[in-house]
Structure 1
Amino acid sequence: MLKQSNQQPLAGVRVVECSHGVAAAYCGRLLSVMGAEVILLEPQSGHRLRREPPFLAEAPDTSALFSYLAAGKQSVICDLAEDMGRAELDALLADADILIDDTPIAERRSRGLDPDDLSRRFPKLIPVSVLPFGAHGPKAGWRAEEINAIHATGEGFLLPNGLSVELFPDRPPLKIYGHFTAMQGGVAAALAALSALWAEQGQSADISVQDAGLAVACFAVQRLGDGSLEHRVERSFKYGGVLECRDGFVEVLTLEERQWTAMVELMGHPAWATDKALDDALERSRRGAEINRYIRAWARDHDVVELVGRAQRLGVPMARYNAPADILCDPHEQARGLFQPVEIPGVGTRSMLVAPFHFGGSPLRLASGPPALGEHRLAAPAIRARKVVGAAE
């Protein structure tokens, strides 16, 4: 039952997470920070992501990725290859509202995770399947890591672009650092789970990480449908974009006439920018490379903070590129309460991003840091009762 509040809109919701990869784990993380009780099932050897880099410098065996994705969750050791493990799973699902599962299709029946069987035995449960290419269709059984997923969306083909491809034209197509596409899949899975929960009719959700990534690359797909194939060499704004300053980088984008006018004022009305021909937006696009040479030369003579401050006062869409340490101490992020100190076993207290959203203007809170392996093994009375009955029989 939902007990909604701004701080915990999913209070009273129980989620069982049977994840192996980032997408399903991020779905659980998002539901957890909204107040759901998320029980993470782990094998005796621990979740696969516990061994996934990058690792924390203070504890080389502690995965920074897992620490972030598992924060606020409970850890229960549950071996679904064994009868006892499947009995533990049933006991948890009997009281659960949502199941997040990224187990490969071919392994689900043997592990007690067959969707049709679960729907029959637990009619109120919402099974959320999170797979690279979804649970239905010719690619349902395919596996993928992040590099496969981002290229399957078409986005990988378009990277690097803009200033990066100008500076490093010989670089091959790359992927964005980290798990960008998988996290898009996690967002889609969380939204699907919330929609099904809202409907209150025992629904299910089938998430394709590729589809979620395609939503990000939708413009490139749309242009392909129109007969235009984008390439990373051409995929950039005609002028503006990433600019190198004296002490860092900024990004500027002037799509509207008033923004261009403000940009000219910001630069001090240089003679080249007051050319009457540049009053025409199409002419500016045609002369984008020329404009960029002027803008980049001008930006190198300015400091980031000074330049961004003046730009924003004039209405020029410009922002700095921050290093992680800059973000942690930025007054804006601090005012929004986006980071929270959490305890990481074997490491100590560290700042961690809570969530990329607010409810009612108030920051959400993490219930805890990442759990130790099996820390909540005895947390569910139903599991203990099932074990006692099994032993008596």
Structure 2
Amino acid sequence: MLDSTAAVLLARTARAQRDGRVPSLVAGVVRDGGLVWSAGRGAIEEPHRDVQYRLGSISKTVTAITVLRLRDEGLLDLGDPLERHLPGTPLGDRTLGQLLSHLAGAGSESPGQWWERTPGTTLEGLALSDADVVLPAARRFHYSNLGFGLLGELVARARGRSWSEVARDEVLLPLGMRRTTPRPDGRAAQGYAVHPWADVTQVEPEHHAEVMAPAGQLWATADDLARLGAFLLGDTGDVLSPDTVEEMTLPAGIDSSAPGWSSYGLGVQVQRTADGTVLVGHGGSMPGFLAGLWVDREEATGALAMGNTTSGLDGGLPAGLLADVRAAEPRVVDAWEPTPSPVPLELLGPWYWGPSPYVLRAVPGGLLHLGGLGRPGRSSRFRPGPDGTWTGLDGYFAGETLRLDPVALNLATFVLTRTPYDPTAPVPGGAGDWA
């Protein structure tokens, strides 16, 4: 970072620490695989990058990675019911994909005492009942710590060892996150609650969450959390394929063409800000700690913040840091170079969906893009398949099949023609005369 940029970032971080009355705060910016700027404020200065803070629900991203590794190995499918891999729970008919995206209708918390402030127990010790199913499946988003506890238990049983061991050996160590642990280890911040009406603090308890650990147990340093940010930016270290990471970032149950939204993918939160920027990451909270990690994949930049307070830290700090960097040091994109079209040029250009004009373009990466011409319209990118068809990647036609023909484009029963309702094309319902 330029000195001028660093000064702006430090000013924003310092204000967040003071205004939020956070005993200590570490913030950082991620580029090129790690931290390129960081600062510690409050009761911690140097070496702030090697102090562990509790990540809270950012742990869910790591849990999702362990599940997706099993899926990519062919050991499970996201459409599988939980019962197939973790029998005996009242959520057995809910799918793994629904659990990963908080669409399973599982209770937000585990039964019994407040799990974040009391020692944990086993799955059997939770004694789950029908009361822990609070909504029908796939009807609405309902954030569930319990759901991720169940996913972690599934991973543990599939691998024959604890979830934390699987996460360590298959995710954390391969990514170089050697200071990320299920309990504080070495130099770690003490968690505090700050009184709402006075500048005094109280120590918050810390226990092993046991079966609920996959929902919020991990502790990490700024350097390690930056590596997770680099992973979300595409530096996957062979832990997952880039295609699977891309799959994680797809928002569930939302029209992503809308101007502004907030959603959830597979183990990550996804949101589009007011200026159209799409951010991927996760927030985290546990008694005594707040954390956030967000990346802008278009800018190849991430930002993080970790503080040792139960409440008060502005959750928008990472997004603010990203906006500062985007304004002061925007990414210089690669130079444009000519590339061959993936289809004959005569197939590109204007097409008509009935009377509505669309345009088919070749775009980088060997893809096609179909979208409105001169007016809003449904749009999607398509990638080629082995049989000559094209599959929608995003937008309205995600997952749908596009078939190319010089006379007509066939897409999800729609027929697009070279002129509005071309009478020489096989238009369903036929084409009459224009008068």
Short-chain TM bin: under 0.3
Judging by fraction of residues, say which structure has more helix.
1
TM-score when scaled to structure 1?
0.26
TM-score when scaled to structure 2?
0.24
